Chains A and B, each alone.
Chain A
């Protein structure tokens, strides 16, 4: 599986098992997220990017699509374990303004 889901209380943690999260995966990722939000009613979502060293704009577009879906239903998506280059990208493209970024899972869980 490209995405592993674990639950902690009512928080859903999605681990992305890809080294490059790009447009090849962007459609399936959006569908996966939307289904999780709509069907399984996942409101508090943390996405763990640990193995990912490259994310492209299509994949992040899907992530924003997921966030839109989630905020519709009064939920939120936070991200965790960004590799330095990916973190740089979140910084210069100002995406950190819409996604809270964490380095520690406990901090992320407590932030909800």
Chain B
């Protein structure tokens, strides 16, 4: 028997946590949810496992290949979109050369898979579905206990009872090609319609479907009854049903929202007298200030609990800092508590120091050497057209996101970075850009050839990139690095954040690169980058987006990603920094592609 963990879901009910995490990587009793499915399969002799992922697959990839150290042979399948559980298994027919146990990635269960397999095998079933015996009682509508009926299917969804099944290879023949179909609520009912038997396996074992924060909370508490599933010693039970587990922080502004279920990520701070009700999950490294109230919540590790904090039926993970109502002194459980979460390695700190030093040194030398040229250029600009010598371009690297309206996150202009460059256009050029947008190219990355707004001296400055040289000043004062990505003009950043980057031809959407293109927002601000050194303005909008996003992602890696990123990890190093710098220098010298 093989195993298939279904992890294709987007986890919408766990937003905003799942905006940046895959649901199956959610921490549950010190382990990712995924571990429980994999552990179940392994403990029943499964050797080969497939996992599908449509959202943040790199987290699963890193975990199973570099952190888990499991004997399982795990194959991760990437999905460009979630095809539904049936659509998913239809895509990997080569894996289905044996019976396969399908386990939803968000399920924690102690079901006896071996026994279920025997039952499945002996009944020669196409599909065997696990159900609680309460639903399998013999009655008028059920002459045979082991056959699933329509009403069982109904119970399945209403009570979220199951989802664990074992299937035979030929189930794939029943799934239509190129479909977006689910197994439980579409394929199985369809099989019943066509009178294809579904085998039932009665199981009383513990079963938790972690579908929302409420399930998460209940399952977390219930784990006390299932010591076989975890290491019991890790959670400390305090009085009044409060369990101290692991860190959190909530801001006043966020707490004003009337959400029934809230998730706050790491480093959240709860301001004084805030009230949190309902199912609240608070991530690690947080701070709960005085007099905040918390009810029915789960709080992550290393949380600072303020004096007089009112906790009621909450679950707080370990390594906490607890200040007692009646005492001014604080009790520190863990000395590392107040240290920064993302501590850098020695190598990383050295790298940053070297880069920062080189930035300033090179910028200072460059400004000194270039000052006579700057004076000449300034004179020429003044002579050709009226207006200032410098043009101040207001740009943003990454737009700030804020909750607004129905969506949790929405674009709002981020903090501006001022780019002082030599003026290459006539004074009223900015007003013309919208017209030109329509005329030449749509999308956020406008590069127009033979732009009529550019002055003669401007054309020369652009071709030689001299117009950008005053940016060395920004480098010298530490506002940007020599190597990094360009901040976009505000309107372009806004466009990218809200509308994305989609190629359209004949008015129909073709390729959606939005997710890739938005990665540039995470990048580090700088002068020289991939796209400048690799063709500059000759590139298409897509190519430029890929260059920028690659650079953002590759220079943002953590030292723990070294193995995962293999050859790509070297971009993070000081050598990688110099490589881009030198490549850009020669590219500029060759004047490739500058308008």
Contact = CB atoms under 8 A, between A and B. Distances in A.
Interface string B527-545: 0001000110001101100
Given A85-B565, A88-B564, A95-B516, A65 B57 contact: no
A54 B92 contact: no
Contacts of B58: 88, 91-92
Interface stretch (B117-125, B214-222, B389-397, B503-511): B503-511
Given A57-B530, A104-B94, A93 B550 contact: yes
A24 B352 CA distance: 30
B542 A88 contact: no
Contacts, number: 112
B550 A53 contact: no
B511 A67 contact: yes
Which range holds the interface residue count of chain A?
A: 35 or more
A85 B567 contact: yes
Contacts of A67: 511
Nearest to A98: B511
B567 A64 contact: no
B515 interface: yes
B540 A65 contact: yes
A103 B75 contact: yes
A95 B369 CA distance: 43
The B contact surface, by secondary structure, is helix
Contact of B542 (A68, A72, A85, A106): A68
Contacts of A1: none
B61 interface: yes
Contacts of A90: 78
Interface residues of B, number: 41
A101 B532 CA distance: 29
A107 interface: yes
Interface in A18-46: 23
A58 interface: yes
Find the residue from B65, B505, B546 having the highest chain A CB count within 10 A.
Answer: B546
Contact of A64 (B75, B79, B546, B564): B546
A23 B550 CA distance: 14
Nearest to B65: A84
A106 B92 CA distance: 9
Interface in B75-89: 75, 77-81
B534 A91 contact: no
A72 B508 CA distance: 10
B78 A91 contact: yes
Contacts of B61: 87-88, 91
Contacts of A64: 511, 513, 542-543, 546
Interface of A: 23, 53-54, 56-58, 60-62, 64-65, 67-68, 71-72, 83-85, 87-101, 103-104, 106-107, 110-111
10 contacts: A53-B566, A61-B540, A62-B543, A72-B505, A88-B58, A88-B564, A88-B568, A91-B57, A91-B58, A101-B78
